[in-house]
Amino acid sequence: MPIFQQLAHPQLTSVASVTRPIHAKKGQTVFRPDEVSQTLYIVNTGQVRLYHLADDGKERVLRVLNPGDFIGEIALFTDEIHNNYAEATQVTELCTISRDALTDLIQRMPPLALSLLGALAVRLKSAEHQATLLAIPDALPRLAGYLMDLSQGQATTVTLPMSKQDLAAYLGMTPESLSRKLKQLVTAGAIVTSGRREIRVIDVDQLQQVAPQ
């Protein structure tokens, strides 16, 4: 897992000794709003989506956690009260570390603290970028900008890291709107879709013209 990659083998053994696994079935809630947590959750296998419910009852996907991703780091500093839902999208195993154990590890292993700070900085940058995309009123540039990021501006095949339904919620649109906008990009010759999640960017310039500047 990325946040542990800088640790030596004896240090990894120390981490393993305080880690506890939990298992979640597809659709099972890992935690829900108003629950108090003093735990760091790290996805080992499977996938977890983090979302909240808007006032109109619609889901807003905030992030999808894949193997190596973590959530609950605020518990390191305070008694975190969750205000979002975390739900397994497939059979999932998570590794959990209590706040006391994590604090002790960080005090003894400075590289772990640096890895956590680096991961949090990347997450903050991603959250700011998502906020910028969501501020765009037109759904088509929003989608094009997301695909540009995912493909890193290259003509290549990418796999969506989440279901199309979750991607629609992540980008602030309906699944029907997402399907229409994907078809528009296909018609424009910017992309080709294959299967449920594969998208091939074939004309970067065309996609760039649609994406926000």
Whole-model pTM? 0.81
Residue type, 49: R
- The residues, ordered by sequence, that sit 6+ positions from 134 with a Cβ below 8 Å of its Cβ are 142, 171, 172
Residue type, 212: P
pLDDT at 24: 97
Residues of the chain with pLDDT under 50: none
Q: Where are the domains of the chain?
A: 2-133, 136-210
pLDDT at 184: 94
Q: Which of 139, 192, 186 is nearest to 167 (CA)?
A: 139
**pLDDT tens, 22-37?**
999 999 999 988 887 8
> Distance of CA 11 to CAs 5, 44, 105, 121, 183, Å?
10, 18, 9, 23, 50
**pLDDT tens, 74-98?**
767 777 677 889 999 999 999 999 9
pLDDT at 166: 92
* Superfamily name and number for 2-133: Jelly Rolls (2.60.120.10)
Strands 198-201 and 48-53, by their bridges, are unpaired
pLDDT at 5: 84
For domain 136-210, the CATH architecture is Orthogonal Bundle (1.10)
51 CA to centre of own chain: 10
Q: What is the radius of gyration, based on Cα positions, of the chain?
A: 19
pLDDT at 95: 94
103 CA to centre of own chain: 24
